[in-house]
Amino acid sequence: MSTASFVLGEDAAVEEIELTGGVANKGAVVRVGDTVRRPASAQSPEVAALLGYLESVGFCGVPRFLGFDDSGREVLSWIAGDVPLPPFPSWSMTDRALVSVARLLRSYHDAAAGFILDHPSPIWSRELADPCGGELLCHNDVCPENVVFQGDEAVAILDFDFVAPGRRLWDVVGTLSMWAPLAAPEWRRAHRTTSDPIDRAGLFVDEYGLGEDERRAFSTTLRERWQVGRSFVRAHLEAGDAAFEEMAEDHGAEDRWEATDRWFDVAQPRLERRLRPSQS
C-alpha cells in the first residue's frame, strides 16, 4: 500500500504519496499531484538533458524532466498507467505485453541514438554499464517495475538512475534477463508465466529487430551482463544496504545465480538455435 504525508506547495500543503516498488530508492520516490519526486544524483543534469532531448524529438515514452523542488529532489511528470510489481500480475507477463516492451525499447533506442555524447562523461553511473561502452545511452534497468502500461501496451520507461553509454545489445539482454525471464525455473515464480523463456526471448528479439551479429553475440553478452549485475548486487550487500539485503532474502542471490548458471549451460544451445539469423 502507498503511504501519504504532506509537502509544502507554493500556496498550500499538497499530498505526498509514496510509490512502492524498486530497490535502490525504496521509499524515497513519491507522487505529488501530477508530478513525481525522486532523489537527485550527480548525473541528474545529464539525465535532464537526455529527457529534454527525447521530448524535443517527439518521443513520449519517458517522463518529462521539470526541474528540482525545494528539497533538492528531481521533479518529473507523472505518467498515468499501471506498473507491474512482484509477484507480477498475469496481464503483464503475456507474450503480447512482452513484444510491446520490445517495441518500446527499440523506439527509445532509436530516439536516443540522436543524442550526441560529446565525450565519455565520468558522471554516468558505472554500476550496470556496458563494459564495452558505446555511443547509445542505454537505460540498463528496464525491469517490469520500471515500465508503465496502458492496457496491455507498454507505453513508458521510468527511472534513469543507471543510464550510461553502451550497446543496444547490452540493453536488450539486460531487459530480457528480467522479462523472459532468463533464469532457472525455480526462480521464475514471481513472473507467473508458463511460457517458455527461450520462446519469449525469441519473440522479443524478433520484434525488436536485433541484427545478425548481435544475435550471434547474444549468449556471450548475456553472461557478461549477469556478471555485472551480480557484482552490482554483491557490492550493495557488502555495504550493508538494507534494501538489497531484503531483496536477497526474498528473492535469493548466490543460490539463484548458481542455479541459473546451471540452467543456462543446458539451455544455451536451444537459445542460440532460436536466435539464429534466418539465412544462416
3-state helix, strand, coil in the chain (%, to 5): 45, 15, 40
> In this predicted structure, what is the pLDDT of residue 23?
62
278, exposed or middle or buried, with CB in 10 Å at 0-12, 13-18, 19+? exposed
For residues 241 and 122, state if they share a domain. yes
For residues 156 and 259, state if they share a domain. yes
Check pLDDT > 50 for residue 6.
no
- Does residue 83 lie within any of the structural domains? no
What pTM did the predictor assign? 0.92
Prior bond of 277 cis (ω within 30°)? no
User: And the C-alpha cell for 279?
Assistant: 539465412
- Mean pLDDT of all residues in 145-160: 97
For residues 105 and 18, state if they share a domain. no
- Does residue 249 lie within any of the structural domains? yes
- Does residue 223 lie within any of the structural domains? yes
> In this predicted structure, what is the pLDDT of residue 158?
98
> In this predicted structure, what is the pLDDT of residue 24?
63
> In this predicted structure, what is the pLDDT of residue 246?
87
Q: Which one of 77, 100, 121 terminates a domain? A: 77
For residues 71 and 105, state if they share a domain. no
Domain span at residue 26 reads: 4-77
Instruction: Kindly list the distances between the CA atom of residue 46 and the CA atoms of 50, 52, 63, 91, 174, in Å, as whole numbers in the listed order.
Output: 6, 10, 14, 34, 22
> In this predicted structure, what is the pLDDT of residue 123?
84
pLDDT band at 11 (very low <50, low <70, confident <90, very high): very low
CB atoms within 10 A of CB 106: 17
- Mean pLDDT of all residues in 14-18: 88
For residues 98 and 63, state if they share a domain. no
Q: What is the pLDDT of residues 162-201, one digit of tens each?
A: 999 999 999 999 999 999 999 999 989 889 888 999 999 9
Strands (E) in the chain, as ranges, are 4-8, 13-18, 30-32, 35-38, 65-68, 74-77, 136-138, 147-150, 153-157, 164-166
User: And the C-alpha cell for 209?
Assistant: 529487430
- In percent, the amount of the chain with pLDDT more than 90 equals 78
For residues 97 and 46, state if they share a domain. no
Q: Which one of 51, 77, 103 terminates a domain? A: 77
Least trusted range by pLDDT, from 9-23, 173-187, 192-206, 247-261: 9-23
How far is the C-alpha of 9 from the C-alpha of 168, rounded, in Å?
40
How far is the C-alpha of 135 from the C-alpha of 165, rounded, in Å?
6
Q: Looking at the 3D structure of the chain, how many domains does it have?
A: 2
For residues 70 and 123, state if they share a domain. no
For residues 96 and 63, state if they share a domain. no
Q: What is the DSSP letter of 164?
A: E
For residues 116 and 191, state if they share a domain. yes
Instruction: Single out the residue of 83, 188, 181 nearest to residue 91, CA to CA.
Output: 83
- Does residue 280 lie within any of the structural domains? no
For residues 231 and 115, state if they share a domain. yes
How far is the C-alpha of 213 from the C-alpha of 209, rounded, in Å?
12
Q: What is the pLDDT of residues 103-146, one digit of tens each?
A: 999 999 999 999 987 656 678 999 999 999 999 999 999 999 99
Q: Which one of 37, 52, 77 terminates a domain? A: 77
